[in-house]
Structure 1
Amino acid sequence: MKNYIKWLLTTAVFASSFNAKAQLYAPCDNQATTETHWLYSSMQRLQGAGVLFGHHDDTAYGVGWRFDKNRSDVKSVTGSYPALYGWDLARVEHESAKDINGIPFKLQRKLVKQAYRRGGINTFCWHMDNPFNNKTAWDTTHNSVKELLPNGSAHARYVQWLDRAAHYMHTLKGDEGEAIPILFRPFHELTGNWFWWCRNTCTPEEFKALWRFTVDYLRTKKKLHNLLIVYSVADFNTKEDFLSRYPGDEYVDFMGFDNYCTKSIPDYQRNLSKRLALQQEIATEHHKVACLAETGYEQIPLANWWTSVLQPELQKNYKTAYVLTWRNGRTDHYYVPYAGQISADDFKRFFNNQSNIFQNRLTALAVYGKYIVPNKEE
């Protein structure tokens, strides 16, 4: 009862974050589960109120630690977990015990469930190896996409790999046996030129056909109705660039792009501002939800990067549903600060800005349509 009263009081404080008058659109899967419907509606209602903050592999490892219980670099600095948790399916296609970043899938499953239980949101990308030749996702030596389509030479292997991924995703369940909703982001950065599914390795029609086959197969054959589909490009400068390989509204729920800060901060801000605005126009026209699917500044060498570079661009467009920063993989490869890092104090200021939503604010909003008992620390 004490926890329930606390939830009611907290919900009263944050309920104003929801836009009760928002025009809501259903998931593109007309058989989506109840929790998936709720999540998609909740994320639409939050548009305009703020941006959900996410971090890839957040609770699995960080700078100077790996697989510690109840740990997160985001939490170590701010006191809260992020609102959104990124994961990777890569290596599940080989029935490996570990994903591409060395996380045991058994542990990843546990962390996904913990995030869901505390009211957080899980999103998966998939750096799938090339089914045509078993090389890595970064192999671009062939037009592999056409070989994965029905009647293609590698179609059977591709279907086998989808079966293995579907089997794993079916194990991602809540405490009552319900399927945990997943923001599924296949073939990300598709307008780049570095993955086997990118624009330099296949025609737009071949790519669209593979996307449609993949989504249809997972829905219809494998009965995965807990997936919200994220279409995520790399560089783009026009609507035509963004939509050149778009598979159709019935195959997409979120529209996003990946945009990293490198040497030129002015270029990053200029591109981010232009692309967020352009993407919002496209998302509105297609009745989809916009997001910044990946971003960050490796090693964050600028002490006030969060509030002086990223925040001003996000504030221009509060209809961006979420922003996901990349992983903290090594001491020379990280995208959120750890305790004592040069931008840690500024990250706290970013966290305290009420337009940024972390787990501490998200839990009370019950985005799955029910109050899920917050995680017992395990």
Structure 2
Amino acid sequence: MRFNFIPLYRLIRHVLPVIMLFSLLPVGFGDSLSVANAASLQPVNSDASTQARELYSYLLNISGKKIVTGQHDYLESPDELSNKVQKISQAYVGVHGYEMGAISGQSDATEAAQRKNVVDSAIRWSRSGGIVTMTFHEALPGRPLTWANVQAKVSQAEFNKYVTPGTTQYNLLIADLDKVAASLKQLRDAGVPVLWRPYHEMNGDWFWWGNKTNFNQLWNIMYDRFTNTHQLNNLLWVWSPNAPNSYTVPYTPKYPGDDKVDILAVDIYNNDFKQSHYEGLLGLARNKPIAIGEHGEMPSSEVLQAQPKWVYSMTWGKMLTENNTTNQIQDYMNDSRSLTRDDVKNGLETIQPPGTDIPTLPDEGQSEPIPAPPVVIVPPAPTPPSVPDVVYVNGLRGEYFNNMNLNGSPVLIRTDSKLDYNWRANAADPKVNADQFSVRWTGKIKPQYSETYTFTTISDDGIRVWVDGKLVIDSWFKQSWTERKGSMTLEAGKMVDLKVEYYDEKGDAMARLMWESQHEAKAVIPGNALFLP
């Protein structure tokens, strides 16, 4: 038998944050989790970063007392919905959910640019005191980046090829993982711990990795690649099956094991917050933290009282307002058990020992080297992301007027993620007329390529567009679903001003703004290319 002795300095570094926290907590806080328990539970990666260990200790310590609020945002617009929560409730959620999987047919260049936007946002979020979690909707390796390929039907025999070293499919999988790792390394180097939640809902059959007898092999390949090859010591590993129901299989056989999972979560939809779901996951987790990885409807105060061990929950995407009323969002954010970003910041500061400040971004070329992988050559570490002094959010400022001439004061001002609306005969908002209204959108636009862009509008009725102060489309008259075009040469990565004005006279109303260039396929200008300071 071989004994591994832990040096004293490592023991102090790992245990001290927990001891410091409990010294500051009121009597009785540790009823559900003893100091010894918290100290003995460490991240499964023995080389986990200081920030990851502090976050894990924090989640262990709130278990049974509090729950961190959360909201997911999409790859194309990584700040849109978390900002919407703040506008509704006057507070930011504690956990910001991000996406690393491209599912809209993006090119490799677009995918890389969108992931960079995610990384920059996550760094800002972490530095503001919040928790970062990331989901990875991976298209079947080797296929185009579309939702259909995330949901590709793959037989067990074909799946086996992706988890068998030496096959073409395995090499494609490794190449995918290495690309994602490049983004996660930037977060590691910026001192950002990440709740990493890959290959979720594996007990259903709607993703290519779902309902496979050897799912755990896929998980282990990623875990080994990220932990041992890429040294992504900033990750805490979150395993997240779907809640048991008639269209899932039991999830216990899909559990990779206590040595590969830090947090056990479950995805719950249709208000299916059964006590049995909670108790079943709690039994499998034992002392590890549990969470609601995704939900459509926000858990009520009654659910939070009856199921106190959830450490965080995350509303999925646009279900924020599609499945929840304004009052329900405010109730969730203001519940006595709920923790916002400010609460999380204060809690993490409590357990952060002196001398463990978040590191500054390294200079170019100073990322730690990694060993050569056995199958696929790992690309060199990318240039660490630069976080601008001016913090931008994605979208455009929309000012809505109850007249056709943009006169007077707007009746509604909001952030619109992109300009792609078909209201038909409906009103854009209860405050806005269904007919005889106008809108002015303003913000900035950032292209990926240095080349001439063609801007295209489709509108019913009038529309005009300025790019960098130049009027490129002027179609200010009554029309029905008419396409207009204008061109402008832009510089890659350089933000320029964008202004769009629109009016509707009567009947159907719609407005859409697209672009295209030599390397940019014609499409609606995505939210990640639109910015507001």
TM-score (norm 2): 0.55
Identity %: 22
Q: Does 1:276 align with 2:278?
A: yes
Is the aligned partner of 1:189 residue 2:201? yes
Distance 1:59 1:47, change over 3 A: farther
Helix, strand or coil for the counterpart of 1:233?
coil
Query: Does the CA-based 8 Å contact 1:60-1:111 persist in structure 2?
Result: no
User: 2:135 matched to 1:125?
Assistant: yes
Listed as ranges, the gaps of 5+ residues in structure 1 are 1-10, 298-305, 329-333
Matched residue SS, 1:335? helix
Give the AA of the match of 1:292: I
The verdict on how the C-alpha distance between 1:281 and 1:141 changes in structure 2, with shifts beyond 3 A counting, is closer
CA displacement, residues 108-147 of structure 1 (integer Å, 9 cap, x when unaligned): 1121011101111111111101016556110014334311
- Contact kept, 8 Å, 2:290 with 2:311, in 1: the verdict is yes
Check conservation: 1:119, 1:372, Cα contact below 8 A: no
| 2:218 alignment partner in structure 1 | 210
Q: Is the 8 A contact 1:192 1:235 kept in 2?
A: no
Per residue, is there more helix in 1 or in 2? 1
Gap change, CA 1:164 and 1:58, over 3 Å in 2: closer
Question: In 2, distance between residues paired with 1:158 and 1:210?
Answer: 9
Q: Larger radius of gyration, structure 1 or 2? A: 2
Q: Which runs of 5+ in 2 are unaligned?
A: 1-20, 360-386, 392-533
Matched-pair contact (CA < 8 Å) for 1:188–1:231: yes
Matches within 5 A, 1:320-359: 320-328=310-318, 334-336=319-321, 343-359=325-341
Name the structure where strand makes up a greater proportion of residues. 2
Asked if 2 retains the 8 angstrom alpha-carbon contact of 1:148 and 1:158, the reply is yes
How many Å separate the matches in 2 of 1:348 and 1:197? 36
Q: Which residue of 2 aligns with 1:142?
A: 155
2:216, 2:79 → 1: CA distance? 38
d(CA) in 1 for partners of 2:221 and 2:339?
A: 35
The one-letter code matched in structure 1 to 2:162 is L
| Amino acid across the alignment from 2:295 | T
The alpha-carbon deviation at position 363 of structure 1 amounts to 1.5
- Structure 2 equivalent of residue 5 of structure 1: none
Q: 1:156 to 1:38 in 2, by over 3 A?
A: same
Q: How does 1:117-266 map to 2 (within 5 A)?
A: 117-131=127-141, 133-134=143-144, 136-143=149-156, 144-149=158-163, 150-173=165-188, 177-199=189-211, 202-203=212-213, 206-236=214-244, 241-261=250-270
How many positions carry a matched residue from both structures?
A: 323
Contact 1:145–1:210, Cα closer than 8 Å, also in 2: no
Query: Aligned residue for 1:316?
Result: 306
1:237 to 1:349, Cα distance in 2 relative to 1, 3 A:
closer
Per-residue deviation, residues 223-243 of structure 1 (Å, max 9, x unmatched): 1111111111113279x9231
1:91 counterpart = 2:102: yes
Structure 1 residue 75 corresponds to structure 2 residue 86: yes
User: Cα–Cα, structure 1 residues 195 and 289, in superposed 2: closer, same or farther, change >3 Å?
Assistant: same
- C-alpha deviation, 1:311, in angstroms: 2.5
Contact 2:278 2:307 in 1 (8 A): yes
More RCO (CA 8 Å, sep 6+):
1
TM-score by length of 1: 0.76
C-alpha displacement at 1:37, in angstroms? 0.7
Sort the Cα spacing of 1:229 and 1:71 in 2 relative to 1 into closer, same or farther, 3 A: closer
Query: RMSD across aligned C-alpha pairs, in angstroms?
Result: 3.3
Alignment of 1:284-295 (within 5 A): 284=286, 287-295=287-295
* Secondary structure at the counterpart of residue 140 of structure 1: coil
Query: Structure 1 CA distance, aligned partners of 2:154 and 2:324?
Result: 41
Offset of 1:18 from its aligned partner? 6.4
**Match of 2:292, SS?**
strand
1:78 to partner: Cα distance: 1.1
Alpha-carbon contact 1:89-1:126 (below 8 Å) kept: yes
